[in-house]
Amino acid sequence: MAFLKDSWYCAGWSHEISRKPLLRTILGKPIVLYRKEDGTAVALSDTCPHRFAPLHLGELRGDAIECPYHGLQFRESGVCILNPHGGPITAALKVDAFPIVERDLTLWIWMGRADAADAALIPDCSHHVAPDFKALFTYIAVGGNYELVNDNLLDLTHVRFLHKSFQAPNAGVFEYDLIQKGRTVTSIYNMLDTEKSSMLQMMWPQGPERVDLYNDMQWNAPSNFRHINRNTGRGQPVDQGITGITSHLITPETETTSHYFLAYARNWRREEDAFEEALQAGLENAVRGDDEWMIAHVQNRMGPTSDLMSLHPVILQTDSAAVRARRILAKLIREERGGNAAEKAVTVA
């Protein structure tokens, strides 16, 4: 499977990266992540070019990482700076280094051409550090292809069937829409005049019993989401309710597995530690216990392929945003590879 390489992917949350080397496979490539003595993050290929030993099993020597097998040392540029066995250090004795940017408590990695890495293209996650919001961070391993996760997030109609704690006993009116601007797709899913779900009751116990829920799920190619969720009393302005802004940053691990980095920022009950623990548990249960559980089952039914469209699935009207994103991503990958393959025809049932 081809991945879009000239793009920014989340490599981890800032608190995950330390002086202890961390292995993370991204786009099928094992990457070692660590911090230099000044705190700057480094991303290198995890495979020593000598005997292919995993570098993350080695130790840091100053700002360099030492191979655990024969002691070769590589600096942040990937260049070998020490061969303890003597002899010349040739140009071949190096590992790939990847551009990395740390912003808004998030570590971003560029897996493509280094000279094309433009930090201005990094998705906006400023809500992670916004003064009026409090953010929590978590990570979930997904046993499915990353585009299945894209599909799941762009079609929030699954919420009232898959997520029991988010189901309202008596739902009201549902609204759907999508907006495309360039390589960005926004899926709009609103529930108006509905009772509160058990999850929303836990989150906002003092809120009214009948509420309007507004969801804007913005997808940025290849797989980074900014989800704005506004909950307010029935017929009331949104600024009289509560707002949550979620980062769903999906990074392909392999063709059939994904990294799911989730950050949830809220503008209410920001100082309540017990509430934050309950909120994090509820969100993790929704993603790990519901979404990941179902996506892994879907991937299992798909077999070894990661290409959902090759299996000719039935497409519903509520899949419109997901199909739009798939077409944009396929086009970007073709353009990056210089291909001209025709887009797969998709019929909406």
Q: In this predicted model, what pLDDT tens digit does every residue of 128-149 receive, in sequence order?
A: 999 999 999 999 999 999 999 9
- 2, part of any domain: no
283-329 per-position pLDDT tens digit: 999 999 999 999 999 999 999 899 999 999 999 999 999 999 999 99
pLDDT at 349 over 60: no
Rounded CA Rg of the chain: 22
- 210, part of any domain: yes
Mean pLDDT over residues 200-213, rounded?
96
Domain that holds residue 183: 127-337
- From 87, 121, 155, the end of a domain falls on 121
Mean pLDDT, the chain, rounded, equals: 94
82-103 per-position pLDDT tens digit: 999 998 999 999 999 999 999 9
Q: Are residues 68 and 151 in the same domain?
A: no
Q: Are residues 90 and 18 in the same domain?
A: yes
Residue 87: per-residue pLDDT: 87
Q: Are residues 92 and 141 in the same domain?
A: no
Q: Are residues 187 and 54 in the same domain?
A: no
Cα–Cα distance, 273 to 161 (Å, whole number) = 30
Q: Are residues 53 and 161 in the same domain?
A: no
- From 77, 101, 121, the end of a domain falls on 121
162-180 per-position pLDDT tens digit: 998 888 877 788 999 999 9
Q: Are residues 238 and 147 in the same domain?
A: yes
Q: Are residues 246 and 212 in the same domain?
A: yes
Cα–Cα distance, 85 to 21 (Å, whole number) = 24
Q: Are residues 201 and 230 in the same domain?
A: yes
- From 92, 121, 150, the end of a domain falls on 121
239-280 per-position pLDDT tens digit: 999 999 999 999 999 999 999 999 999 999 999 999 999 999
Q: Are residues 146 and 284 in the same domain?
A: yes
Q: Are residues 26 and 84 in the same domain?
A: yes
- 245, part of any domain: yes
Question: Residue 100's closest CA among 178, 171, 39?
Answer: 39
Q: What is the per-residue burial (b if ≥16 Cβ within 10 Å, else e) of 65-97?
A: bbbeeeebbbbbebebeebeeeeeeeeebbbeb
- 90, part of any domain: yes
- Tell me the whole-structure pTM to 2 decimals: 0.95
Q: How many domains does the chain have?
A: 2
pLDDT at 344 over 70: no
